[in-house]
């Protein structure tokens, strides 16, 4: 880490540093794009993990998190501006393509505009929304933003701020869809978008020319809600984000808080957490199998996937008391001990599932029609996967070994033996197969742990009011769809000053446009299904 610090300070002497688990660099905005270029080209920080918009009262700004995919080193950069009326920062969309959506999100929530960003529209909120909700001085009066039942205007153009070579700023209008283009609206109410995602798709006959993604049809404002809740109260939102990785999401929030408090979790809780995470991953991938095959027309597969998922839900229900939103992990351990039948049932299930997976493959994977719809469709190269930030199973299908369980192990993942499934084809079939093979790996992990759960406490005794020491904390876990990051800035209170959820699904829709371009519109359904996004996770 000292090495990175030396290199940055020799390149940019005015940069200041804060050391922590992740090195934080502060730079003035005027030098920010130069540093970004240096980070990207010279230090090879090629993966932009997250952009966290911030309102510090006096100033506003962003905290960027970068990872170098070669050695998994991390660095964060803080950039601020003192102008609250017309806040401007330099965009990094030219270096990291995932910044396109992240910067639009920051604009939507904070009103910070990015110089040289080609498309400064709102991302989650209606385009006639008044105010920027995550600013601390936001006016939440329902009179200002009543429930509007008229549809918002469709915009085919967008605005941008461009810096000319001589350093002047110019307002520009960019075209999204030209008047002669044939634009088809898909969603938000469409069974194949897996929720309420809206895609405006420009077509040339059957060929997709461009996709413009509209998010926010289930934007629930969780990040703002968290700012007025105590830490234990914020946990339950995690279950409702990506409800197919409820346990892992909650694991992320708990880990982030436990890290900040420097807590050592009882071994029993660590074991149970790891097993629960993997069970959740299996259940999510089974649901993926069910819905993805149904999207491609295989209705029987839907019944098979759900049949086996119900068996996992039974196991969860006995221990956690719920089928979907479990509320099981808590700061310092678990809410309750495991059910006496837990180990027996998990072992039965682990013995049962591999045989069923063979059935799945006979039923669907080998099918000629399925193969033709999957192979060679929706190609994504490794470079693009990294640049768009498409991690998780979808990234691993493009040859990017991005598993957080391997790169930054948490819980017991450094003590169990498992393979990271990586394929190199980068098409729909690879994304499908990665998930199917990950089910077997998850079973393998569970089998190593289930007999060795140690006796002892399942949770630490915590005080009812938890205060985090001042600072910024960022933790990631591998959720079912990719890395879920939790960022907490604490000012020493019992409430988080800012809690940001870095969703695994938002970058997935960012990559939808390049993957679908030039393909048939029917392939859009296959590609969308293979990315397996969950809308409430990306919208938050």
SS3 479: strand
What is the separation, in whole angstroms, between the first and last Cα of the chain?
Answer: 33
| Paired tokens of 206 | 């059957």
Assess 395 for contact with other proteins (CB under 8 A): no
Return the residue matching tokens 């959720």. Answer: 479
Query: Considering the rule CB under 8 A, would residue 524 count as an interface residue with other proteins?
Result: no
**Per rule CB under 8 A, is residue 124 in the interface with other proteins?**
yes
The token pair at 409 is 């192990």
* Piece of the chain touching other proteins by CB under 8 A; list 150-158, 170-178, 350-358, 385-393: 150-158
CB of 90 to other proteins, least distance (A): 29
Binding test (CB under 8 A) with other proteins, winner from 61, 426, 483, 536: 536
CB of 247 to other proteins, least distance (A): 14
* Interface pattern 220-259 for other proteins (x via CB under 8 A): xxx-xx--x-------xx--x--xx---------------
Count of Cβ atoms closer than 10 Å to residue 476 Cβ: 26
Residue environment code for 259-268, b if the CB has 16+ CB neighbours within 10 A, otherwise e: bbbebebbbb
Smallest distance from the beta carbon of 339 to other proteins, in angstroms?
18
Q: Closest separation between CB of residue 305 and other proteins, Å? A: 8
> At closest approach, how far in Å is the CB of 486 from other proteins?
18
To which H or E segment does residue 476 belong?
strand 471-479
Q: Per CB under 8 A, which region of 5-13, 25-33, 148-156, 506-514 contacts other proteins?
A: 148-156
* Site for other proteins contains 535 (CB under 8 A): yes
Look-up of token digits 């970068």? 66
Binding of residue 133 to other proteins (CB under 8 A): yes
Nearest C-alpha neighbor of 428 from the set 484, 468, 370: 370
**Closer of 191 and 492 to other proteins (Cβ):** 191
- How many of the other CB atoms lie within 10 Å of CB of 92? 30
* Interatomic CA distance for residues 360 and 370, integer angstroms: 13
188 DSSP assignment: S
Q: Minimum CB separation from other proteins for residue 29, in Å?
A: 28
136 binds other proteins (CB under 8 A): no
Stretch touching other proteins by CB under 8 A, among 2-10, 24-32, 153-161, 190-198 = 190-198
CB of 361 to other proteins, least distance (A): 20
CB 509 to other proteins: min, Å: 16
Rg (CA), the chain: 23
Contact letters for other proteins, residues 293-312 (x by CB under 8 A): ---------xx--xx--x--
Whole-Å CA distances, 228 to 463, 487, 499, 519: 19, 16, 10, 46
CA pair distance 181, 168, nearest whole angstrom? 33
Q: Is 495 in the site for other proteins (CB under 8 A)?
A: no
Instruction: Kindly tell me which residue out of 203, 324, 422, 521 binds other proteins, with binding defined by CB under 8 A.
Output: 324
* Of the candidates 76, 90, 97, 74, the residue with the CA atom closest to the CA atom of residue 29: 90
**What are 479's two structure tokens?**
């959720």
Sign of the torsion formed by the C-alpha atoms of 187, 192, 194 and 199: negative
- Please name every residue paired with 63 in a beta bridge, in sequence order, or none if there are none: 52, 78
With CB under 8 A as the contact rule, the residue among 26, 73, 116, 325 that binds other proteins is: 325
Interface residues toward other proteins, by CB under 8 A: 124-126, 129, 133, 138, 140, 145, 147-152, 188-191, 195-196, 216-222, 224-225, 228, 236-237, 240, 243-244, 287, 290-291, 302-303, 306-307, 310, 323-325, 535-536
């Amino acid at each position: 880490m000292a090495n990175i610090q030396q290199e940055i300070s020799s390149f940019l002497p005015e940069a200041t540093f804060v050391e922590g688990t992740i090195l934080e660099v502060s730079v003035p905005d005027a030098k920010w794009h130069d540093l970004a270029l240096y980070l990207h080209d010279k230090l090879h920080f090629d993966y932009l993990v997250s952009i966290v918009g911030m309102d510090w009262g006096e100033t506003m700004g962003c905290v960027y998190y970068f990872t170098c995919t070669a050695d998994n080193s991390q660095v964060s950069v803080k950039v601020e501006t003192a102008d609250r009326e017309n806040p401007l920062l330099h965009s990094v969309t030219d270096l990291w393509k995932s910044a396109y959506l992240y910067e639009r999100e920051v604009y939507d929530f904070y009103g910070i505009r990015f110089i040289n960003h080609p498309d400064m529209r709102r991302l989650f909120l209606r385009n006639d929304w008044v105010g920027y909700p995550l600013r601390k001085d936001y006016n939440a009066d329902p009179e200002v933003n009543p429930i509007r039942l008229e549809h918002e205007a469709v915009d085919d153009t967008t605005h941008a701020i461009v810096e000319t070579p001589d350093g002047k700023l110019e307002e520009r209008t960019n075209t999204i869809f030209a008047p002669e283009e044939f634009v088809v609206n898909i969603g938000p109410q469409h069974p194949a978008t897996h929720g309420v995602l809206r895609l405006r798709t420009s077509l040339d006959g059957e060929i997709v020319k461009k996709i413009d993604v509209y998010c926010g049809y289930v934007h629930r404002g969780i990040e703002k809600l968290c700012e007025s809740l105590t830490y234990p109260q914020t946990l339950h939102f995690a279950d409702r984000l990506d409800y197919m990785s409820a346990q892992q999401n909650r694991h992320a929030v708990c880990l982030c808080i436990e890290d900040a408090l420097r807590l050592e979790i009882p071994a029993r809780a660590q074991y149970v957490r790891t097993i629960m995470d993997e069970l959740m991953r299996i259940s999510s991938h089974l649901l993926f199998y069910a819905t993805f095959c149904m999207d491609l027309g295989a209705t029987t597969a839907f019944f098979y996937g759900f049949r086996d998922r119900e068996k996992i839900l039974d196991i969860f229900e006995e221990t956690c008391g719920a089928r979907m939103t479990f509320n099981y992990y808590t700061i310092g351990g678990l809410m309750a001990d495991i059910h006496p039948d837990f180990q027996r049932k998990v072992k039965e299930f682990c013995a049962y599932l591999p045989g069923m997976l063979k059935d799945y493959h006979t039923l669907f994977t080998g099918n000629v029609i399925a193969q033709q719809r999957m192979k060679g469709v929706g190609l994504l190269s490794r470079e693009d996967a990294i640049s768009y930030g498409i991690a998780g199973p979808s990234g691993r299908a493009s040859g990017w070994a991005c598993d957080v369980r391997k790169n930054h192990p948490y819980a017991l993942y450094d003590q169990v033996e498992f393979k990271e499934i990586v394929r190199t084809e980068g098409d729909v079939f690879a994304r499908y197969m990665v998930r199917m093979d990950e089910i077997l790996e998850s079973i393998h992990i569970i089998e190593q742990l289930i007999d060795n759960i140690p006796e002892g406490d399942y949770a630490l005794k915590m005080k009812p009011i938890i205060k985090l020491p001042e600072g910024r904390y960022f933790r990631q876990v591998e959720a079912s769809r990719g890395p879920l990051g939790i960022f907490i800035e604490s000012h020493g209170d019992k409430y988080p000053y800012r809690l940001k959820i870095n969703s695994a699904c938002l970058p997935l829709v960012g990559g939808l446009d390049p993957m679908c371009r030039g393909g048939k519109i029917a392939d859009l359904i296959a590609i969308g299904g293979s990315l397996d996004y969950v809308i409430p996770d990306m919208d938050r």
